[in-house]
Amino acid sequence: MKQLGKYEILERIGEGGFGTVWKGRDPFLKRNVAIKLCTSDNDELRKRFLREAEIAGGLHHPNVTVVHDFGYHEDVPFMVQEFLSGEDLSVIIRRRDAVPQLTKLRWLTDIARGLEYAHSKGVIHRDVKPSNIRILESGVAKVMDFGIAKLAEMNTQGLTRTGTAMGTIGYMAPEQVNGEPVDHRADIFAYGVLAYELLTYVRPFDADTMSRVFYRILNENPQPLSDLVPLFPADLERVVLRCLAKNQNHRYGSFREVLHHLERIAAGEPLDEIEPGDPTEIAHSGARAAATAGDPASAATVLRPPGSWTPPTGPTAALPNTPNTATAYAPPSARRLSTALVVAAIVGGGIAGTAVLLVGRKAPPAAGDTTATAQLPAAAALPAPSGEDAAAGRERGRILLEEARRLIAE
């Protein structure tokens, strides 16, 4: 094939179940394009192809693939999209490239922006995964392939059947696995899976069989990211785990909320709020379980890194190496602080009283020492305590020390 309508065909660049993808060129606008042809005779695939053209054609955002044109060539539908340089995110993950964490955070922010825009237009992607994300040579991430997307307000009868799971195994939300109706929060769950995989290069629900993957999605929590990546930022882990909540009501309500937290993390601002029902409020590791067993102040501190950080710059920039949750120090509670002050006052008072008693006893000068009395004139003027006073002082000291021991034991 040399020509498709006005477009010059340069080379084949991909192939899928629906047909083929060609690299082409628009001779009038002098730009390269990607041309997708739906050569399949399957009615379901053709409907999805037309739906993708209809949906993606109405989306115009820097982090979403742009559709330029649509038409037919000898009864074969084709779609013309912008030609994207770079490579799929799935390739980067498979190679386990040494990508700085700050760059990964920037990609996740781009993806969240693209999906937030699609949701604002009533579009649910339903197949968010690394192979549907393109990382351009410029470093920008773009969301691709709206083949099984749907418009939230439109009737999609005929495109899906009740009880049919739509999506890719391993990235489906629990409600998708169960064949239940889905909304935009299914994309948030899939985004959480993608984020977990990008940040750790491990799939959160990976297993040998499809049934086992589905079981893990429905019943098991993923391994904490901080167990896989040393010194992983605690706040970023909280964002990912909240996206992965089994109950869709416990996830973020929108990508706008996700973006708000990602932008605060990038700016070095700690995430103080934990919303009701947030699954990240529950400890996910032994260190956190031990910390949350104490007072509330300790639990809150362990769930986020203390202090703030300044985003580094340069090609090797990375997220801050925040302290491991096992070694994060919690501030003392108000009760413990007041107890410590009381104990200090008691012990200090006891010591002071004892010192007065001891000073009051005038020590005899050493043989040949003619300066002892002159060095302690005040002490020499004090009368020596009587036997009753000394006994009373010792008893008072004993009582104070017993009170201090009791407070410390509490």
CA-to-CA distance for 218 and 175, rounded, in angstroms?
Answer: 9
Closest among 317, 374, 350 to 102, alpha carbons compared:
317
Terminus-to-terminus CA distance in the chain, angstroms?
Answer: 85
φ, ψ at 79 (rounded to 5°): -130, 135
Q: Which residues are catalytic?
A: 137
- Beta-carbon neighbour count of residue 14 at 10 Å? 11
* 3-class SS of residue 24: strand
The CA-atom distances, in angstroms, between 258 and each of 178, 307, 328 are 25, 21, 25
Sequence-ordered list of residues with C-beta below 8 angstroms from that of 286, at least 6 positions apart, any chain: none
CA-to-CA distance for 64 and 354, rounded, in angstroms?
Answer: 78
**Tokens 């629906």, residue located:** 18
CB 8 within 8 A of CB 2: yes
CA-to-CA distance for 241 and 279, rounded, in angstroms?
Answer: 7
Q: What six digits make up the tokens of 284? A: 């996910």
